[in-house]
Amino acid sequence: MKNKYLIAIIGPTAIGKTALSIKLASHFNAEIISADSRQFFKEMRIGTAVPSVKELAQANHHFIQHKSIFDSYSVGDFEKEAIIKLDDLFSKNNVVIMVGGSGLYVDAVVKGLDHFPEVDPSIREELNSLFEKEGITSLQTQLQTLDPEYAQRVDMENSHRLIRALEICIGTGKPYSSFLSNPNKERTFKTIKVGLTADRQIVYDRINRRVDIMIDEGLLEEAKALHKHKSLNALQTVGYKELFHYFEGEWDLDFTISEIKKNTRRFAKRQFTWFKKDETTLWFDYEAALEEVLKALEERIS
């Protein structure tokens, strides 16, 4: 049997991963699975930069808007479903393309999830109560103290992730990051990671333009329709949670948009930190020619 290859397109938000994934899918006659946890939810189209109708028509995509914000859907659920889907896709083709900026979800498919010990559920209840009373800052401060390494790479604006890490820190007396080095699960395919990068200012400029485009395309209306469900985990997401402050009269619109841009830039910085850990990744400038990427892939495959 020929080797099966999963080509994972990674990099920060707004760098051009979708465009490259479609070009590679066309070249290899392959299908695409999304590992972008923000794009799973059908109610969140504009604010998560879901591929356009035209882009979706150029290749078969999976795990795009296949869940509702009201569904319980974890990274573990995604890992199981993605592996089943990959088995099916690899039965038809030796190459599958995966694309996404959610490092944890990419790693779940490539390596499998780490194992965490069971901890007293009352710890999570106490942390949830603390979050409700004092806000996210208290969680951020605790994590920086108990696990500064993980605090450097987690989305510090995602309360769900912070609470998950803190309950492990408190329940075990060990840093959450100490459990992130379990042996990889065996996979029936080989993975080649292709990373897109650019000078930081270019990335930031692209992010700022994307946010402006989202506003023009109706992000305010999309977020307003979701405001009443703001406590749902899926909506603890940059681009939505800032607008909830605006709808509640706490911020004016100009400040809100500037906060979306700032928090998205911070998110991109954390994405770089996460993805740079893997020294096997093939990195390319975001404007690299397709031929350059294909040459490197062919060398790696051969």
CA distance 111 to 185: 6
Identify the three-state secondary structure at position 48: coil
Residue with tokens 């974890």: 74
- Give the per-residue SS3 of 18-44: HHHHHHHHHHHCCCEEECCHHHHECCC
11 annotated ligand-binding residue: yes
For the chain, first and last CA: distance in Å?
Answer: 15
CA distance 233 to 71: 10
148 annotated ligand-binding residue: no
18 annotated ligand-binding residue: yes
Beta strands in the chain (DSSP E): 5-10, 32-34, 61-62, 95-99, 190-197, 282-285
Identify the three-state secondary structure at position 2: coil
14 annotated ligand-binding residue: yes
280 annotated ligand-binding residue: no
Tokens of 89: 């896709």
CA dihedral 262, 268, 273, 275 (to 10 degrees): 170
CA distance 50 to 18: 9
17 annotated ligand-binding residue: yes
Query: Which parts are annotated binding residues?
Result: 11-18
Query: Which parts are annotated binding residues for ATP?
Result: 11-18
Query: Which parts are annotated binding residues for substrate?
Result: 13-18
